[in-house]
């Protein structure tokens, strides 16, 4: 009612005195009533519980706790009442003899004790707030199949800005710089699978199978689940992990939050900063290609200077309504955000060698990168008669661009200077991508034993690289340069358009067991996916314009313009319009049973059958028109998972499964993609991989917020796919089945522990110091088989033998004051970046530590301050390769990214 009075008061200011009289009348009535406010907390950890239900018995009044565990029930007639408080997997508590007095607020902090029973999966999904670390740990404890998850609150506490940074804090997962997405237990992009709310989503980039995880900021994430153990209901095209992003939904009855932040990158702010032309403030790129053979390009070749200040704004809000006589809940939740960030790499080393280690490319450069993102998320849910309908729409736009300038030796590009091969390169690239997701999920309780879950989704991706500009100049006399000939002046356009249709159905029937556990059930279902990709690329090549130029004051538009083209000072050649189309159809029926075999032993056994059709039709310049693919390939994929509860705090899980991995589109496509220091091309003869997986895990639950986990795993991979370096001296990369089989094994450790936790429910005060550690050891080995290459044992690309993540956090709470300070440390050991062949040794990526600091300070009931400093160590990224006789290591790439500092304000209404 307080909110009603505020709303009426705002309208009165606009509509006149009559409304003011109404407010006065309402205030007189309400003044006779009182209210109850307070906090709901965990009885053991004293931490707030989000989304707990607080009901005033005998009335229709009630509320749900907010993100700080606070609740408030207004406009209560004076008297004595009983409060009922309930929360998922906690004992329902009744607080009797609560006295409400007129014109007064009764404050109550109510602790809840964890319950010693298991709720069904449907109840967990429908009621639990999965933004909470405690809820996700509880789900991990109850789950039959081993899983790991990162909650939105954990991401906020650790300063993790997106899904990519979040999953790299999970044991056994690391990120390779310069490569999108993550490596799970040494297995890269092709071996992993990304889903959104359980539905597959495609990549926005033709170079990758999975969508870039940094697409998904904290604005849209409720939690991220990582399944490294597989069962029949999960995707079969996986070897490392299924990463499922659960989008945000409304917690409580209503919510409204606004956030602003600003910051800088130390490398970017200390130097003049340049951005390319052709993109507006919102990151919308001009994708227009020339319509004729005239030089009518819309974008300038000359970058402009800006002040690189990072900034972002987001707003989120939702409301829950009660519909009909049954008060069926209908909720809406919307998030909108805009983010712009700048970074710079100064003194970047770019080098390349021939087999014996002789350097033919040796350049030093500067790279100015910036990213612009917008997001809109909408969620609507309706529940009735134990049924649930949910609709999600997600619109994402991201623009990543850079301006790079490099000087030095390049024996391939600067052959106009045969004595020195010295020159200058300016490369300007934009990747402008959009993703539109529509999802409809339904849950039907057909009877007391039977449930039906069904859903459909459609994803539309547009990945554009519009007007990549590449200009080479060769060193002349003194400080002067001249434009390099041999078609070294280029502009490039590419476009990927993808439509992805998904259908999933799961019918579950509850089985009886002698323990009446409610855990036994039989499931039968179907997953279907149809994907259609269309990719085309076009390049324009220009001859050299005469004259002398200075690299430090280079104005390319003065040379390459319509007038000079008309006067014949240079000519333009339109390249071949390279195209390919990918169609993928996977039909996947499955069946599985979950059964309580003994009082402490539960089993899951199932089988999935995948019928795969994957075809790629290509029309490219270097080959005749053709088709390559996989037709009617049948995979039978059994799985068995066991869980043994040693006691109330210890559980052991084992998983056995078979999966497969299809090659990515780029890995079977003969189209060549050209980068600064390499060219990549697929192989039409690649075969899918098959994986046999074993996983054994022990969990020790110390408390609702503490755990120790030890995990061991083994994988036997047939026909592993890898990236090979060595087809030529020009930095040429391709993809092959690099061995008959590969072996991957390892161990993982995770610890979450409170060092101290002093709290007082009377004073609503808490001091807590906690630590988190996860570490992994990964062994990988295969006997390399490549043309003109002696067999040798090598590790898998991207497989770091050692990965460590550590965080320490201090939390202070007193009334509405809530301060959390965290230090987050990560380290991965040296690993193979690219496997060498045909005389070339492996390209190695040096291990590097990172350290971040995050401070969250809620200084009032509505205002929170966020301070974040990331990459504090500013470690050096480095790629090296040993020469053929093993006498020295040559640095191929080296740079530092700088430190990022940001300050933000969050206002919650």
* CA–CA separation, 417 and 364 (whole Å): 18
How many CB atoms are located within 10 Å of the residue 145 CB?
20
Task: Judge whether 841 and 357 are in contact, CB under 8 Å.
Answer: no
Phi-psi region of 326 (alpha: psi -120 to 50; beta: other; left: phi over 0): alpha
Secondary structure of residue 156 in the 3-state scheme: helix
* CA–CA separation, 190 and 351 (whole Å): 27
* CA–CA separation, 402 and 400 (whole Å): 7
Predicted local confidence at residue 728, as pLDDT: 53
Please state the separation of Cα 570 from the chain's center in Å: 45
- What one-character-per-residue DSSP string does 726-755 give? -SSTTTEEEEEE--SEEEEEEEEEEEEEEE
* CA–CA separation, 378 and 878 (whole Å): 42
Predicted local confidence at residue 542, as pLDDT: 95
Task: Judge whether 401 and 159 are in contact, CB under 8 Å.
Answer: no
Identify the sign of the CA torsion 401, 405, 409, 415. positive
* CA–CA separation, 426 and 253 (whole Å): 54
Predicted local confidence at residue 885, as pLDDT: 77
* CA–CA separation, 178 and 347 (whole Å): 17
CATH superfamily of 254-908: TonB-dependent receptor, beta-barrel domain (2.40.170.20)
Predicted local confidence at residue 123, as pLDDT: 37
How many CB atoms are located within 10 Å of the residue 581 CB?
16
Predicted local confidence at residue 67, as pLDDT: 62
Phi-psi region of 621 (alpha: psi -120 to 50; beta: other; left: phi over 0): alpha
Q: Where do you find CATH 2.40.170.20 in the chain?
A: 254-908
Secondary structure of residue 140 in the 3-state scheme: helix
Phi-psi region of 385 (alpha: psi -120 to 50; beta: other; left: phi over 0): left
* CA–CA separation, 780 and 757 (whole Å): 41
The helix (H) or strand (E) run that includes residue 4 is: helix 2-15
Predicted local confidence at residue 761, as pLDDT: 58
Secondary structure of residue 41 in the 3-state scheme: strand
CATH number, domain 32-112: 2.60.40.1120
Predicted local confidence at residue 178, as pLDDT: 61
Predicted local confidence at residue 369, as pLDDT: 96
Give strand pairing partners of 351.
362
The residue to which tokens 């045969």 are assigned: 418
* CA–CA separation, 872 and 899 (whole Å): 6
Predicted local confidence at residue 8, as pLDDT: 38
Predicted local confidence at residue 2, as pLDDT: 42
Closest CA to 712 of 144, 189, 171: 171
Q: Which residues of 811-828 are buried (b: 16+ CB within 10 A; e: fewer)?
A: bebeeeebbbbbbbbbbb
Q: Where do you find CATH 2.60.40.1120 in the chain?
A: 32-112
What are the 10-residue block averages of pLDDT along the chain, 909 residues in total?
42 43 41 80 77 80 75 86 84 88 85 61 45 78 86 79 84 76 87 93 80 82 91 92 91 88 96 94 89 83 96 94 88 95 95 87 95 94 93 94 95 80 94 95 95 97 94 92 91 94 97 86 97 93 94 93 93 92 96 94 96 93 88 95 94 96 85 71 88 96 89 96 67 84 96 87 76 94 89 91 94 88 93 87 92 93 93 95 83 95 93
């Amino acid at each position: 009612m307080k909110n009603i009075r505020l709303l009426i008061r705002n309208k009165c200011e606009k509509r006149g005195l009559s409304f003011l009289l109404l407010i006065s009348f309402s205030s007189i009535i309400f003044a006779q009533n009182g209210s109850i406010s307070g906090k709901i907390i965990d009885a053991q950890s004293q931490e707030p519980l989000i989304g707990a239900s607080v009901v005033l018995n005998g009335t229709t009044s009630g509320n749900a706790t907010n993100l700080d565990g606070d609740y408030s029930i207004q406009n209560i007639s004076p008297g004595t009442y009983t409060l009922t408080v309930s929360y998922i997997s906690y004992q329902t508590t009744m607080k009797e003899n609560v006295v409400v007095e007129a014109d007064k607020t009764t404050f109550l902090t109510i602790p809840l004790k964890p319950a010693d029973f298991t709720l069904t999966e449907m109840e967990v999904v429908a009621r639990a707030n999965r933004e909470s670390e405690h809820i996700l740990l509880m789900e991990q404890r109850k789950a039959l199949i081993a899983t790991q998850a990162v909650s939105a609150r954990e991401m906020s506490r650790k300063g993790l800005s997106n899904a990519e940074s979040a999953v790299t804090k999970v044991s056994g997962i690391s990120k390779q710089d310069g490569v999108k997405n993550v490596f799970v237990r040494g297995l890269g992009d092709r071996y992993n699978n990304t889903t959104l709310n359980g539905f597959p989503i495609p990549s926005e980039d033709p170079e990758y199978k999975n969508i870039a995880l940094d697409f998904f900021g904290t604005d849209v994430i409720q939690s991220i689940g990582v399944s490294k153990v597989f069962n029949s209901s999960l995707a079969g095209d996986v070897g490392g992990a299924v990463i499922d992003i659960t989008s945000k939904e409304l917690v409580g009855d209503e919510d409204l939050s606004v956030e602003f932040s600003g910051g800088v990158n130390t490398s970017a702010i200390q130097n003049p900063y340049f951005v390319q032309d052709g993109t507006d403030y919102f990151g919308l790129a001009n994708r227009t290609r020339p319509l004729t053979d005239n030089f009518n390009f819309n974008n300038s070749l000359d970058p402009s200077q800006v002040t690189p200040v990072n900034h972002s704004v987001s707003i989120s809000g939702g409301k829950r309504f009660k519909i009909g006589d049954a008060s069926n809940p209908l909720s809406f939740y919307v998030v909108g955000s805009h983010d712009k960030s700048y970074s710079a790499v100064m003194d970047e080393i770019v080098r390349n060698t021939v087999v014996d280690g002789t350097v033919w490319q040796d350049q030093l450069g500067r790279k100015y990168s910036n990213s612009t993102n917008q997001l809109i998320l909408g969620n609507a849910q309706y529940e009735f008669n134990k049924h649930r309908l949910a609709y999600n729409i997600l619109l994402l736009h991201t623009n990543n661009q850079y301006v790079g300038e490099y000087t030095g030796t390049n024996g391939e590009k600067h052959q106009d200077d045969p004595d020195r091969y010295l020159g200058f390169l300016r490369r300007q690239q934009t990747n402008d991508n959009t993703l539109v997701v529509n999802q409809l999920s339904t849950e039907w309780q057909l009877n007391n034993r039977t449930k039906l879950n069904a859903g459909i989704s459609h994803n539309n991706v547009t990945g554009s690289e519009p007007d990549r500009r590449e200009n080479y100049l060769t060193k002349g006399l003194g400080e002067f340069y001249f434009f390099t000939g041999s078609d070294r002046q280029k502009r490039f356009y590419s476009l990927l358009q993808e439509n992805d249709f998904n259908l999933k159905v799961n019918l579950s029937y509850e089985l009886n067991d002698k323990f009446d556990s409610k855990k036994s059930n039989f499931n039968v279902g179907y997953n279907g996916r149809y994907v259609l990709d269309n990719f085309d690329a076009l390049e324009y090549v220009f001859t050299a314009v005469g004259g002398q130029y200075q690299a430090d004051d280079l104005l390319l538009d003065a040379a390459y313009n319509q007038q000079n083209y008309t006067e014949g000072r240079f000519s333009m050649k339109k390249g071949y319009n390279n195209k390919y189309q990918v169609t993928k159809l996977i039909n996947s029926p499955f069946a599985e049973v979950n059964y309580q075999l003994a009082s402490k032993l539960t089993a899951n056994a199932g089988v999935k059958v995948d019928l795969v059709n994957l075809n790629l039709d290509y029309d490219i310049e270097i080959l005749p028109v053709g088709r390559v693919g996989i037709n009617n390939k049948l995979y039978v994929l059994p799985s068995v998972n066991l869980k043994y509860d040693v006691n109330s705090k210890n559980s052991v899980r084992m998983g056995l499964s078979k999966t497969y991995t299809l090659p990515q589109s780029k890995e079977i496509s003969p189209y060549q993609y050209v980068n600064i220091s390499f060219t990549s091309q697929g192989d039409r003869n690649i075969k899918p991989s098959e994986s046999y997986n074993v996983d054994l895990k022990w969990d020790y639950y110390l408390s609702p917020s503490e755990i120790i986990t030890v995990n061991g795993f083994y994988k036997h991979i047939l026909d592993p796919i890898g990236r090979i370096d060595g087809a030529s001296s020009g930095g040429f990369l391709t993809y092959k089945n690099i061995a008959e089989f590969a072996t991957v094994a390892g161990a993982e450790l995770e610890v979450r522990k409170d060092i101290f936790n002093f709290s007082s429910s009377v004073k609503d005060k808490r001091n807590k110091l906690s630590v988190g550690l996860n570490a992994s050891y990964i062994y990988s080995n295969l006997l390399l088989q490549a043309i003109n290459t002696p067999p040798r044992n090598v590790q898998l690309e991207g497989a770091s033998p050692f990965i460590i993540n550590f965080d320490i956090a201090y939390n202070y709470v007193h009334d509405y004051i809530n301060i959390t300070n965290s230090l987050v440390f990560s380290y991965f050991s040296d690993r193979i970046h690219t496997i060498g062949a045909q005389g070339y040794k492996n390209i190695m990526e040096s291990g590097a530590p990172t350290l971040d600091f995050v401070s969250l300070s809620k200084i009032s009931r509505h205002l929170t301050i966020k301070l974040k400093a990331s990459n504090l160590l500013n470690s050096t990224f480095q790629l090296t390769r040993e020469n053929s006789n093993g006498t020295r290591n040559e640095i191929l790439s080296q740079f530092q990214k700088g430190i990022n500092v940001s300050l933000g304000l969050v206002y919650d209404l």
